[in-house]
Structure formats: C-alpha cells, structure tokens
Amino acid sequence: MSEKVTIYDIAEKLNITAATVSRALNNNPKIKEATRELVIKTAAAMNYKQNKLALALKSGRSNNIGVIVPRIDSNFFASVIRGIEEELYPHGYQVIICQTHESIKRENENLHTLVDAQVDGIMMSVTGVSNENDSAFRNVLEKNVPLIFFDRSKHIDGVSSVTINDFKGGYLATKHLIDEGCRNIAHFSGDQSLDIFKNRFLGYKQALLDNGIEFKEEYVIYTKSAVDAGKESVDKLLQLETPPDALFSSSDFAALGAIQELKERNISIPNEFCVAGFSNEPFTKFMELSITSVDQSPLEMGKMSARVFLEQVDKTDTIKIEKKVVLAPELHIRKSSAKTNF
Amino acid sequence: MSEKVTIYDIAEKLNITAATVSRALNNNPKIKEATRELVIKTAAAMNYKQNKLALALKSGRSNNIGVIVPRIDSNFFASVIRGIEEELYPHGYQVIICQTHESIKRENENLHTLVDAQVDGIMMSVTGVSNENDSAFRNVLEKNVPLIFFDRSKHIDGVSSVTINDFKGGYLATKHLIDEGCRNIAHFSGDQSLDIFKNRFLGYKQALLDNGIEFKEEYVIYTKSAVDAGKESVDKLLQLETPPDALFSSSDFAALGAIQELKERNISIPNEFCVAGFSNEPFTKFMELSITSVDQSPLEMGKMSARVFLEQVDKTDTIKIEKKVVLAPELHIRKSSAKTNF
DNA sequence: TACTTTCGTGTAATCGATTACATAATTTTA
DNA sequence: TAAAATTATGTAATCGATTACACGAAAGTA
C-alpha cells in the first residue's frame, strides 16, 4: 500500500535534485535557508523516512551493535543487556542478541555473523573451554569493529573489558564467613578456563591465608552452576573426615542446592553451617532463609560497557584504545550466613 | 588492515564481470560449471564475504527481526526471547531487542525505529494503558511487515498472536484453591487494559460461579507486579470484615509479597491461607515454602511466535494470514496451597 | 551452408542515500 | 561596470550486490 518515499520523490516534486534534498535534510550549511525549510516541510508532508539500509551501505555503519551471551534467560545477563540497551538507545543504536549456550562453535559463528552483518561494535561475555584459538576475536578487531568483554573476559590485545573485581568478591565473602566464626570453609568453583572463577577462587584462598586458616584442596569442588550440582557437591563435602562448616559458592544456584541438601540433613543454617553465593540472583533475597551473595551490579556493568563502546566508536581507528574497567563487588549479607545480626 | 573483498575484486582477478561472479555464487543455473567452481574457489581463497547491507538494500530484506518487550530482565520475557532466538537462528535471522518500560511512547518509538531499520518482522508483547491509538501498529502492517503479538495481545486486524489461555489459567488456579477447601478467595489483578489480566480475572470468576461461591468485589485488588505491592494489597484484604482464606494472584511477585506479609502476621500457609501465583517464575520453585503458580511455557511461546513469523514471511503479501495460537497453561501445585499432598 | 536454438556472459540499471567536483547564480570589490 | 569572491545547486560517482535485457558463440536442424 504505502509506496516508499525517497529523496528522489521529494526532489521531483520540488524540481530540484536529490543531492539538494539530501543536503537540506542533513543540515548542510551550504543550503539556502528557504530551500531547507521547503524540503523539510515537503518531506514531512510526504511522510518521508530515511532508508537506513541505504545509509548503512553508503556509510559502512549499520547502527546495530551485537551482544553475545551464554544465554539470555539468566537474570545476570538479561540485566546487563538491559543496561546496554538503555545506554545505547538515546544514541540510536539497536541491540542484536546472540546466545552461545557455552559452545565455542556457536561463539565463533556468532562473531562471524555479527561482523558479516556489519555491526558497529560487539559486546560479549566469553565462553569457557578456551581452545586458545583467538582467530575469531582477531578477525573482529582486524575489521576495526570495537570489541568489549564484560564479566567473563579474556586477555586479548585491543579488547576493552568491563568486569567486577572477582578476587575481591571472593575475598569479601570468605572474610565474612571467617568473621562469623567459620574455620572450615569450602568453596564451589567453576570452569577454570574462565578468569572469573579463577579469581573468586584466589580471593577465597587469600582470605584464608590472611586469617591464618589452612587451605585444604579437598574443600574445593568444581561444579556447574545448577541446583542439582550444588546438592551433589555438598554431599561429597559432608563425607569428608572433617566436614566444612561453611561454603562460599561461586554460583547462587549451586549455593541454593547446597542449602536444600543441608536442610534435608537437618543441618541448621547459619548456626551449624554458613553459606554465601555469588551473583545476587533475585531469588537469594526472596527466600525465607535469604542467601548471602556477592552483587555484580549487572545493570551498571551493561551501561559501562556501552559507554566504553561509545568512547571507542568515534575514535580514529589508528589508535587502539584498550580500556579495562573493574567494578567493585558488593557483599549482601543475609540469613544464610549471619549468625548474629538477623 | 583487511581490505574488504567484493565481487568486483573477484571479477577483476578472473577477468570476468561482477554479474557472472554474483550468478556463480548464487548457483544460477545459467553459469557454466567450470566457471562456477573457479569463482567459488577464488572467492574462498580471497576470503570473500558477502556484504549483507548491500544485499539488504537491494532486496529490501534485512534478515533482522525486532522483538519488543516491556523489559528484558524478567525471566518470562527473557525466556520468550530465548525461544525466538533459538528458533530463528537456523534461518539466519538476527534478533533485535527493544524495551518499552511500559511506556506507550517508547512502544511507538520502538515500532517506528524497527520499521525504519527495515526489520523483516516484529514480535512483541504490548504495553497496557492503550489509548486505542493503533496507528503505530497499522503503520507496521501497511509496510507489509509481519507483526506478531505474544502473551500480551491486542485485537488488531492482520496481527497474529501467540498467547496462553489466561482464562483457563485463572480458572485452574482458582479451582485448585477451592478444591483445597478455600471459600473466600481473593484475587490480585493488574492493568485492566491488558487482556491477560482481564482473562485471568474472568477465569477466576467463572471458577467461583461454577462452584457456587459468591463473587465479592472487595476481594479483587488491582495491583502492580511487585513484592511491595503484594504486601500492601494483602494488608487491605486482611482489614475486611470477612478476610479471605486464599489468594489467586496474577503476579508471582505480588504473591510473594503477600506471603511475606502473611508470615509476618503469623498466618499459617497453607493451613490458614492458600496462595497461588502466575508465571511460574524460577523463585516460586526455589522457596522453602514453594509457591503454586501457573506456567506460561515462555520458551515454547517464543518458539511458536518465531514459527508463526516464518510461516508468514514468505507468503505473498496479498493474502493476509492471521493466526491465533493459544497455548495451554499448566498449574504447578506447590506448598503455598497444597494442604494435603505435601 | 544457412538458419534457428540454446547457452554463457557482458552491459547497464537498480536499490537510496551521500558527497567530491563542477557549474550556475548571486554578491562583493575595485 | 567588470572582475573576483561567495553561495547555492546540479552532475555524477560511490557503497556492493542483483538481475532484466542484450549479444556473441556454440550447438542443433534442415
């Protein structure tokens, strides 16, 4: 029905050329004021809409940015995306979502697809199990597409990142458990090819060290971020000759599983056993036995990633800016670990 | 660094024209087999990538589809988007995300932006407070862009929809509460300009009617989908001369708020008071006092929306197909309402 | 051999907007 | 008033791919 109106249609109607129309609409200073007004009025009257695809082809900029996450249906990633979208919306960028489902193959596919679609930038949380094949990332950078890692980062030249201080997060949580009087503190970690898990682990270790508590290898379990995995893992811990009296889990879901299992065994939380998680998922606050957790301020992380992108996108591409933003984690102390204050 | 390779570069290298290259790459049957192979091999060797923007401009199809939701950081919407993305990924579509934050203005802006960006289709959950100004929707349809509503729908000619049977969901939840012996059942509803809330409400009413229970206006509270709103609302209910003994809430969050408030007042759940929510948010299952809730199968809803889009996108645009898919809700009975079986 | 088909490829327009360069129109300066 | 400077607009190329049409060459037919 609605035939598309182009600048040529406007030009024809006004007996001028498309070039003049284009200049008028773009506020080119060389255009006579009267002409500009006439063109703008006519364009509005004809319901002209700029063809973004033509513009994109000509300029090489699509006004789209790509976001790659392991999955979107997690509160953390969804919140980051929300932050990105809100920050970029006023600048006219659209956000394209891709999921990797923790597959390297999908991650590489997504990177290529986004580059092919000529997005103006890519923000992503990398997938673990790195085969150390950085070619897909290099390809992005060679095309001069700004690449920004958030949360899950990797050391690649030319890539900016926005992360939280996972070491500090791990340290804070562990220190808190120590302050509550726990001395046998277990740890659930995750995929060691991801820095976030390594750093939380290191923070945990350091807190033990700083407080004169011996680190025990058997207290560390590498587990998936899932409720069932948490149940199974705490099960193993309780079979040790000296079972732990506290747990710092790198995952809220695994922490929840642990709590469920402990309750079934009638182990009293926090009196006999303290638990702290990581991510501050909404449910940690909602539970009757609310769960202590480290907040990663995902909304802020998303906004910050977007800002870093905006800084980079207009810079001359000869100078490679590499910005590393590290946000501060915040420990939310709740019933699962607070023997005293609740 | 990496200069972009076009079909002209390939043509030049092989001393043929770009037209031939294009045809060879597109498996045009008029091309000699030898030429085709040579072109394909050369293209690969030169690391040729088709410029999607040029293709999009020529064809008028961007291979992007737009998704508009009130907000992305809700498990329900994120899951729907996940479903859409997974279903569309194999077909080469990219998903662009927009948020309305329940603002009509933003909704209209998003619709226009997406149409301007020439997406090949739009899937959305409408925002309430309809000023009955359908012009933004009409504009989409006039541009022959398939428009599909999911979950929150509106009656507009030419728009397909994928929803759940909210009436049935409301009926099931209410009937279940009746079966548990409750006779004074309150209801939290929402924005009455949204069909989902009206229909859940109607299902609630019908269940009462079918079981000989008088409907009482004062048992219905229109509340936001938030924990605090739930607390306040249940507070009002308890001040009635005959306070209810059960609640069917159209929102899990409000249901949670109600439960928190009831507990503070030492009202025993489910013995003295039964609660059922709607949406089956993850936390409803995680709580120690798990919350009965109606599941909307968001993943399936997303996939189904994508399928409806795929059906429509290739049809000749002379025939307007309008498909209405209604998914079945599923009641998950949990501790907050099960007096007997838990 | 001459004439039609068929096949493979080239030519050039097209999608819609931007922009370097050229040129016409107007104003300024001498 | 004529030349110079300025201003506004037109011309045409460009971004990269697709495709209707044209055309030469090869193959088939009489």
Looking at residue A132, its pLDDT comes to 66
Identity at B230, one-letter amino acid code: G
The torsion of the CA quartet B87, B89, B93, B96, rounded to 10 degrees, works out to 80
**Which residue, B326, B332, B339, B342, is CA-closest to B167?**
B326
Predicted confidence (pLDDT) per residue in A45-56, tens digit? 999 999 999 999
Tell me which DSSP letter residue B325 carries.
Answer: E
Predicted confidence (pLDDT) per residue in A277-307, tens digit? 999 999 999 999 999 999 999 999 999 999 9
Query: Choosing among B2, B53, B227, which should be mutated to test the A contact, i.e. which has the most A CBs within 10 A?
Result: B53
Residue B318 has pLDDT above 50, yes or no: no
Interchain contact B54–A (C-beta under 8 A): yes
Question: B63 or B340: whose pLDDT is higher?
Answer: B63
> Considering only residues 305 to 324 of chain A, which have any Cβ-Cβ distance to chain B shorter than 8 Å?
none
Note whether B249 and B258 are within 8 A (CB). yes
Fold category of B7-50 in CATH: 434 Repressor (Amino-terminal Domain) (1.10.260)
Q: Is A269 helix (H, G, I), strand (E, B) or coil?
A: coil
CA distance, residue B116 to nearest chain A CA (Å): 6
Looking only at the bridges linking them, the beta strands covering A292-295 and A330-332 are: antiparallel
Per the prediction, chain B carries an average pLDDT of 93
Interchain contact B27–A (C-beta under 8 A): no
Question: A119 or B340: whose pLDDT is higher?
Answer: A119
List residues, Cβ < 7 Å, touching strand C.
A 4, 6-8, 18-19, 22-23, 25-26, 48-51, 54-55, 57-59; B 15-20, 23, 30-35, 54, 57-58, 60
Measured in angstroms, what separates residue A19's CA from nucleotide C13's C1'? 19
Interchain contact B5–A (C-beta under 8 A): no
Q: Rounded distance, CA B288 to CA B9, Å? A: 66
Looking at residue B133, its pLDDT comes to 74
Looking at chain A, which residue has its C-alpha nearest residue B97? A95
* Over residues B248-276, mean pLDDT: 96
A82, B63: Cβ pair inside 8 Å? Answer: no
CA distance, residue B28 to nearest chain A CA (Å): 23
CATH level 2 (architecture), domain B60-163+298-326: 3-Layer(aba) Sandwich (3.40)
Tell me which DSSP letter residue A157 carries.
Answer: T
Note whether A277 and A291 are within 8 A (CB). yes
How far is CA A196 from each of CA A83, A129, A216, rounded to the nearest angstrom? 20, 13, 21
Distance of CA A335 to the CA centre of its chain: 28
Q: Is A341 helix (H, G, I), strand (E, B) or coil?
A: coil
Whether B166-296 and B60-163+298-326 are alike in CATH topology: the answer is: yes
A288, B263: Cβ pair inside 8 Å? Answer: yes
Interchain contact B222–A (C-beta under 8 A): no
B53, A49: Cβ pair inside 8 Å? Answer: no
Looking at residue A318, its pLDDT comes to 46
Residues 6+ apart with CB under 8 A from A125: A68, A69, A70, A77, A80, A149, A150, A151, A152
Looking at residue A322, its pLDDT comes to 85
**Tokens representing residue B123 in the block:** 């899937």
Measured in angstroms, what separates residue A96's CA from nucleotide D1's C1'? 65
Q: In what order do the strands lie in the sheet with A274-279?
A: A220-222, A185-189, A246-249, A274-279, A292-295, A330-332
Least confident of A30-34, A237-241, A245-249, B41-45: A30-34
Check if CATH label 3.90.1150.10 holds for domain A166-296.
Answer: no
Distance of CA B88 to the CA centre of its chain: 15
Residue B39 has pLDDT above 70, yes or no: yes
Nearest neighbour of A73 by CB, restricted to B79, B117, B256 = B79
Q: Rounded distance, CA B156 to CA B139, Å? A: 12
CA distance, residue B244 to nearest chain A CA (Å): 23
Q: Which nucleotides of C are covered by protein (CB under 7 A)?
A: 7-12, 14-20
Residue B247 has pLDDT above 90, yes or no: yes
Q: How confident is the model at residue B334 (pLDDT cuts 50, 70, 90)?
A: very high
Q: Rounded distance, CA A277 to CA A173, Å? A: 8
**Which residue, B231, B247, B148, is CA-closest to B188?**
B247
* Over residues B74-86, mean pLDDT: 96
For chain B, the structural domain boundaries read 7-50, 60-163+298-326, 166-296
- Number of H helices and E strands in chain B, helices first, is 13, 12
Looking at residue A4, its pLDDT comes to 84
> Considering only residues 135 to 154 of chain B, which have any Cβ-Cβ distance to chain A shorter than 8 Å?
142-144
Query: Choosing among A6, A50, A52, which should be mutated to test the B contact, i.e. which has the most B CBs within 10 A?
Result: A52
Highest mean predicted confidence (pLDDT) among A16-25, B12-21, B134-143, B296-305? B296-305
Note whether B249 and B276 are within 8 A (CB). yes
**Tokens representing residue B73 in the block:** 């950081």
Highest mean predicted confidence (pLDDT) among A124-128, A336-340, B135-139, B187-191? B187-191
Q: How confident is the model at residue B2 (pLDDT cuts 50, 70, 90)?
A: low
Question: A131 or A333: whose pLDDT is higher?
Answer: A333
Q: What share of chain A has pLDDT > 90, as a percent?
A: 83
**Tokens representing residue A220 in the block:** 């560390």
Residue contacts between A and B (CB atoms, under 8 Å) = 125
Nearest neighbour of B82 by CB, restricted to A54, A73, A85 = A73
Residue A1 has pLDDT above 60, yes or no: no
**Which residue, B276, B249, B252, is CA-closest to B189?**
B249
Note whether B190 and B255 are within 8 A (CB). no
CA distance, residue B296 to nearest chain A CA (Å): 15
Measured in angstroms, what separates residue A90's CA from nucleotide C29's C1'? 49
Quickly list DSSP for A205-261. Answer: HHHHHHTT----GGGEEE--SSHHHHHHHHHHHHTSSS--SEEEES-HHHHHHHHHH
Distance of CA A333 to the CA centre of its chain: 23
Note whether B145 and B115 are within 8 A (CB). yes
CB atoms within 10 A of CB A133: 10
Looking at residue A342, its pLDDT comes to 54
Nearest neighbour of B72 by CB, restricted to A2, A52, A78 = A78
* Over residues B104-114, mean pLDDT: 93
CA distance, residue A51 to nearest chain B CA (Å): 7
Query: Choosing among B97, B114, B269, which should be mutated to test the A contact, i.e. which has the most A CBs within 10 A?
Result: B97
**Bridge partner residues of A276 (DSSP):** A248, A292
Interchain contact B288–A (C-beta under 8 A): yes
Predicted confidence (pLDDT) per residue in A173-232, tens digit? 999 999 999 999 999 999 999 999 999 999 999 999 999 999 999 999 999 999 999 999
